[in-house]
Amino acid sequence: MKLAARVGQVPPSITLAITAKGKAMKAEGIDVCSFSAGEPDFNTPDHIVAAAKKALDEGKTRYGPAAGEPGLRSAIAHKLKTENGLDYAAENIAVTNGGKQSLFNLMLASIETGDEVIIPSPYWLSYPEMVKLAEGTPVIVPTTVETGYKITPEQLDKAITPKTKLFVLNSPSNPTGMVYTPDEIRALAEVVVARDIWVVSDEIYEKLLYDGAEHLSIGAASSEAFARTIVSGGFAKAYSMTGWRVGYLAGPVDLIKATITIQSHSTSNVCTFAQYGAIEALESPKSPDYIETMRQAFDRRRQVMFDRLNAIPGLSAPQPQGAFYLYIDISKMGMKSVEFCNQLLTEYHVAAIPGMAFGTDDCIRFSYATDLESVEKGMDRLEKFARSIVGNG
Q: Is the distance from CB of 208 to CB of 220 less than 8 angstroms?
A: no
> Binder to ligand PLP among 22, 35, 67, 100 (CB under 6 A)?
100
> Binder to ligand PLP among 22, 234, 251, 320 (CB under 6 A)?
234
- Name the residue nearer to ligand PLP (CB basis): 149 or 385: 149
> Binder to ligand PLP among 99, 128, 251, 322 (CB under 6 A)?
99
Q: How far apart are CA 359 and CA 245, in angstroms?
A: 26
Please enumerate in sequence order all residues whose Cβ is within 8 A of that of 317, keeping only pairs 6 or more positions apart, or say none: 306, 309, 326, 327, 328, 329
- Name the residue nearer to ligand PLP (CB basis): 111 or 357: 357
| 202: contact with ligand PLP by CB under 6 A | yes
Q: Is the distance from CB of 209 to CB of 172 less than 8 angstroms?
A: yes
What's the Cα-to-Cα distance from 87 to each of 47, 59, 68, 74, 254, rounded to whole Å?
A: 28, 33, 19, 12, 16
Beta bridge partners of residue 95, listed in sequence order: 248
Q: How far apart are CA 329 and CA 64, in angstroms?
A: 47
Span near ligand PLP by CB under 6 A; candidates 97-105, 222-230, 308-316, 357-365 = 97-105
Three-state DSSP at 354 gives strand
- Name the residue nearer to ligand PLP (CB basis): 271 or 333: 271
| 247: contact with ligand PLP by CB under 6 A | yes
Looking at residues 262 to 281 of the shown chain, list those that interact with ligand PLP (rule: CB under 6 A): none
> Binder to ligand PLP among 220, 236, 305, 369 (CB under 6 A)?
236
> Binder to ligand PLP among 38, 136, 177, 277 (CB under 6 A)?
38
> Binder to ligand PLP among 22, 40, 98, 128 (CB under 6 A)?
98
Measured CA angle at 365 (ends 230, 292), to 5 deg? 65
Supply the minimum distance, in Å, between the C-beta of residue 173 and ligand PLP.
7
What's the Cα-to-Cα distance from 13 to each of 101, 126, 332, 345, 356, rounded to whole Å?
A: 17, 9, 26, 18, 11
Please identify the residue of the shown chain whose CB is closest to the bound ligand PLP: 98
- Name the residue nearer to ligand PLP (CB basis): 188 or 236: 236
- Name the residue nearer to ligand PLP (CB basis): 39 or 383: 39
Residues within the interface to ligand PLP (CB under 6 A): 38, 98-100, 124, 170, 174, 202, 204, 234, 236, 242, 247
